[in-house]
Structure 1
Amino acid sequence: MLPNKWPEAIANFVSASNAHQTDAMLAAFADDAVLTDDDRIFEGKAAIRKWSDDEYIGSRVSLTILDFSLEGEEASLRVEINGDYPNGPYIFNFSFRLENDHIKSLFIS
């Protein structure tokens, strides 16, 4: 459950991810958003969709929020990720930068 204080874009990202709804997840991003995962950079919604189809929603991801922080337009989630991954679950940090009520960047570490 997401607290009311969370930015709508992040709440939408998490709920769409857990519901495996790619279009709804992408709607949380700005058109020119950048996603960085495992030292790879995905620029724009088409590249983020490909990443998601191959490695995220395509892997039937499930996020459990462990921690959350927000400072201005910067937000951080610590998540446990399950899905069709070998040797899971995994713990990751998702660092978001927000702009105009959308995710401008997401860095996964």
Structure 2
Amino acid sequence: MTSPDTLPTPVAAALEAANAGDIEGFLRSFAAEGAVDDWGRVFRGHDAIREWSDAEFIGKQVVLDVTAVRTEGDVTTVSARVGGKGFNGPSDFAFTVTGERLALMRITG
């Protein structure tokens, strides 16, 4: 189990940016060809991630309250209580880290 204090840098940066409403910071945490997989809907590249986030994530003033973290290899799964003006409730986010950036953020539950 990895504690929230020891999150991989790009995961911590993405969570911090989302909670701050900072779309530019959120996008910087992703590789140029990084992607978000929102229950099977895949948004690849910064422009597509921005469109998705504006409509469903940061644009909905998302707040992520981390409740658990686990890391296996290059995948860190963050369990969080999600709040804001969109989906509210528990959810899991599986982040695949490649180098200093996120290759994928998959919303899994």
Shared fold by TM > 0.5?
yes
Unaligned runs of 5+ in 1: none
Question: Normalized against structure 2, the TM-score is what?
Answer: 0.91
Q: 3-state SS of the aligned residue for 1:12?
A: helix
The 8 Å contact of residues 65 and 82 in structure 2, kept in 1 or not, is answered as yes
> Partner residue of 1:92?
91
Give 1:71 deviation, angstroms: 2.0
Q: Does 1:33 align with 2:39?
A: no
Distance 2:88 2:33 in 1: 30
Q: Does 1:9 align with 2:15?
A: no
Percent identical pairs in the alignment equals 28
Q: 3-state SS of the aligned residue for 2:79?
A: strand
Unaligned runs of 5+ in 2: none
Q: CA RMSD in A?
A: 1.4
Distance 1:55 1:65 in 2: 19
Give 1:38 deviation, angstroms: 2.6
The 8 Å contact of residues 39 and 106 in structure 2, kept in 1 or not, is answered as no
Give 2:76's aligned amino acid: A
Higher relative contact order (CA 8 A, sep 6+): 2
1:19-72 CA distance string (max 9 Å, x none):
000000110000001211032110111100000001100000000001101122
> Partner residue of 1:46?
47
> Partner residue of 1:57?
58
Distance 1:6 1:37 in 2: 21
Q: 3-state SS of the aligned residue for 1:84?
A: coil
The 8 Å contact of residues 81 and 91 in structure 2, kept in 1 or not, is answered as yes
